[in-house]
Amino acid sequence: MREDATATHGSEPDATRGGNRGRPCHVTVKPVGALCALECSYCYYAQADKLAETGGRKSGIMSDATMAQLMHDLIDASDAPEMHICWHGGEPLLAGLSFYQRVIEVQAQLCPPGRRFVNALQTSGIGLDADWTRFFGRHGFLVGLSIDGPKFLHDRCRRDHMGRSRFGATLAAAERLIEGKVQVNSLTTVGAHNVEHGARIYRFLKALGFRFMQFIPIVERMGANARPARPPSMPGPDEADAGEANLAPTPWSVPAHGFGQFLRDVFDAWMPRDRSRISVQNFDLLLGAMLGAPSGLCVHAESCGDCLALEADGSLYPCDHYVYPQLRLGQLGQQKLGEMVAEDRQRAFGRWKWSGLPQACRSCAFRRACHGGCPKHRFVTAEAGPPDNYLCPSYRQFFSYAVPRLADAAAKQNTAKRTEWGERQGAQSERARAG
């Protein structure tokens, strides 16, 4: 990717132009809060102090009234033809199949002609039986299955509350979803536990039958009392992590250079034979950036503010990684979702990614592919200006390696294949919501 091809010209992006009317927002919904069948050692959500502050500790299922209010508000918030919801957790299956049956009924009753709801769900697969499989297939759910590789890697961090392996249940869910022809992708978190096994993990997922894969880096900082620290906050009087600067990454985080090497290992296993038949989100998004398409993943989008988080009690937050009382936007039923998204503080949150862009990013040849990464990962002290992204060494390593190889492969593809890759980039934008 040439430097002159990646520079972004013009004024600072506005993450919420027009009060978000006509600009869709995507909501990650926690219908059971932090209630989960597992106790993953790297979970950023299940932090006792955080849950006590936000209501996420509640084990009650989201009420039908709150669920219906969400549907009403999504319809009113935007004129977009699709309204995206990702059911997340905790473990969203614990809400019960009847809850999602009511979701479908409410959506069918309320959805205006010419528009549709798009439902995604992220799960460990524990408890996913034939009834769930039929339901997901019948109603077009996109299911993301959390699986960190073969059993010896998966079990290092993903065990239940009694320390038992539940890998068998996850594996059975994968087989059931794939055999049932449900839209499904694997989601693999990459940390210290599996970063050295990129190619092996890719081949394992391929052998299971996954044709869509996502690889997400684990990056947390160690705070007081050996608990993960809050993410870097926006500058201002409400700074959430005062006194927590220059904190070291947690032992389970992916090394700063490690994620790039992991992606290279996966890329080398994927590129020779699978690039036209297996979609790896990280690679498709990079190709899309090379072709001039905006990122379908918030991490590498130019601004934030469109991907909201909703707790079971109806509390709305600007981002799944920024669910803290200081940033609470309001309550469904008391305020309209579209109004909360259009508030000045949410607009400021959306612009913050741009305004806090590290100096090194502004002249980077890969800026269009990265846009500084997730603000949560910007905590490395820079020589001047805002902090650098912890994963910058990995992104530079991977982009430098993959871009010339993708460009060469694309040049050899016929027009039909290049169109297919473009369509796949669009599909990955939708699948990103299941991550």
Q: Which residues are catalytic?
A: 320
What span, in angstroms and rounded, lies between the C-alpha atoms of 378 and 144? Answer: 27
Using a 10 angstrom Cβ sphere, with 0-12 exposed, 13-18 middle and 19 or more buried, the burial of residue 169 is: middle
Give the contacts of 132 (CB within 8 A, at least 6 positions apart): 93, 97
Q: Taking each helix axis from N to C terminus, what angle separates 64-77 and 97-110, rounded to the nearest 10 degrees?
A: 40
CA dist., res. 261 & res. 384, Å (int): 28
Q: Are 289 and 403 in contact (CB under 8 A)?
A: no
Q: Which two tokens stand for residue 435?
A: 């991550």
Tokens of 273: 């034979």
Query: Each residue of 331-341: b (16+ CB within 10 Å) or e?
Result: ebeeebbbbbb
Which residue's entry shows tokens 């092996």? 200
Report residue 243 as tokens.
């006194």
Pairing mode of beta strands 307-310, 315-317: antiparallel
Q: What is the DSSP letter of 313?
A: T
Helices 130-138 and 97-110, interaxial angle, to 10°?
Answer: 10
Residue with tokens 């890998």: 167
> Distance between CA 300 and CA 308 in Å, rounded?
16
- Token pair for 355: 């305004």
Q: How far apart are CA 409 and CA 304, in angstroms?
A: 32
Q: Is the peptide bond before 90 cis (omega within 30 degrees of 0)?
A: yes
Evaluate whether 406 touches 290 at the Cβ level (below 8 Å): yes
Report how far residue 34's alpha carbon sits from residue 58's, in angstroms, rounded to the nearest whole number. Answer: 7
